[in-house]
Amino acid sequence: MKIPEVGFNHAKAANCEIEVIDLEKLYQGKDNLTHNPALPHRVDFHQIIHIEEGQGAHLIDFVNYPYQSGAFIFIQKNQVHAFDFSDKPQGKLLLFTQAFIDQALTNMRLPEFTPTHLEYAYQPVFIPDAATMSSSEKLLDELNKELVHQQSNDLIVMLLFSSLALMLRRVMPDNHHDKLNNNQLTKFNDFVTLLDANFHRCRDASYYAEQLHTTYKTLNQICKLATNQTAKQLIDAYTILEAKRRLVLDGTPTQQLAYELGFEDASNFVKYFKKHTLITPSRFQKQFQGS
């Protein structure tokens, strides 16, 4: 089973880095997609899905998360996910790139979209209180209107998006990132960027601390504030998640994957994977592909 990798369609989004789509368009096949959104696919952008009516379970990185009317579902860049259209849910899908986030960050106060999916207590689906829901839906509608306006203004788009993101962020459960000051947040995001580029070469937290010109102790403190986990736990979580994705995305054999992820041999990788998941890589691969 080969899982498609989906990029942001800049031409369709009028060369913007953000787009709003009606869920109905997706399951009625009116969006001219090159992949089936109901089957697992990997995205290189962020998404916020709002379910106005309906229920089901959204697949995110090999876990099914149930949802119902009113839910907001957060998908982060590089995650593998699949929609559940069995109940024909009504709602909207907000897509935005990292470039949009970076642009917005230079213009206004906006929360960083850090990799919360590496946390043990990760919950990508939540239903806000009635007041927040009402305001969020209005902001999403206004954002949609502004994006299709003949004289669409980038600043208005950013302000509406920032308002929506901050409002949802305020009521999200277990929001660790608000404990970080700007300097710590920058350091944490630099750590994640480094990890993304080097996890297949090094899983030693001291190496990352050195690259970031900080101490192992300080890096650990920042990681604990951000995710309630140590730097080493985050490195392991990242490595295991990427191993799972490659096992299923590409059907990579265990021996080859061990080499790609920088393990001395396949047996070391199998032990590492089993320690963190309680099953072997090949068993995980078969389990998912057979489900």
Of 36-40, 191-195, 218-222, the one with minimum mean pLDDT is: 36-40
28-42 mean pLDDT: 78
Of 106-110, 135-139, 209-213, the one with minimum mean pLDDT is: 106-110
Residue 77's pLDDT is 84
30-35 mean pLDDT: 70
- CATH number, domain 179-289, options 2.160.10.10, 1.20.1050.10, 1.10.10.60, 2.60.40.2310: 1.10.10.60
Q: Is the pLDDT of residue 114 over 80?
A: no
pLDDT digits (tens, 9 = 90+) for 51-79: 999 999 999 988 899 999 999 999 988 88
Of 9-13, 139-143, 251-255, the one with minimum mean pLDDT is: 9-13
- When the pLDDT of each residue in the chain is averaged and rounded to a whole number, the result is 85
Residues 247/257, Cβ–Cβ less than 8 Å: yes
Residue 132's pLDDT is 94
> For residues 73 and 218, what is the distance between their CA atoms, to the nearest angstrom?
32
234-259 mean pLDDT: 88
Domain 5-174 has CATH 3.40.50.720: no
> For residues 173 and 22, what is the distance between their CA atoms, to the nearest angstrom?
26
Q: Do 5-174 and 179-289 come out as alike in CATH topology?
A: no
271-280 mean pLDDT: 93
204-221 mean pLDDT: 94
DSSP secondary structure, 257-278, as one string: HHHHTT-SSHHHHHHHHHHHHS
Strand runs (DSSP E) across 40-194, as ranges?
41-43, 46-53, 56-60, 63-67, 72-75, 80-82, 90-96, 125-126
Of 184-188, 201-205, 219-223, the one with minimum mean pLDDT is: 184-188
**181 vs 272, more confident:** 272
Would you kindly state where each structural domain of the chain is located, as residue ranges?
5-174, 179-289
Residues 16/22, Cβ–Cβ less than 8 Å: no
Residue 2's pLDDT is 61
164-177 mean pLDDT: 76
Q: Is the pLDDT of residue 270 over 90?
A: yes
Within 10 A of 247 (CB to CB), how many other CB atoms are there? 22
Burial of 4 per CB tally in 10 Å (0-12, 13-18, 19+) = middle
155 three-class SS: helix
Contacts of 94 (CB under 8 A, 6+ apart): 18, 19, 20, 47, 48, 49, 50, 140, 143
- Residue type, position 57, single letter: A
Residue 123's pLDDT is 82
Task: Identify the bridge partners of residue 49 per DSSP, sorted by sequence position.
Answer: 73, 93
- Residue type, position 117, single letter: H
269-276 mean pLDDT: 94
Of 152-166, 171-185, 187-201, 277-291, the one with minimum mean pLDDT is: 171-185
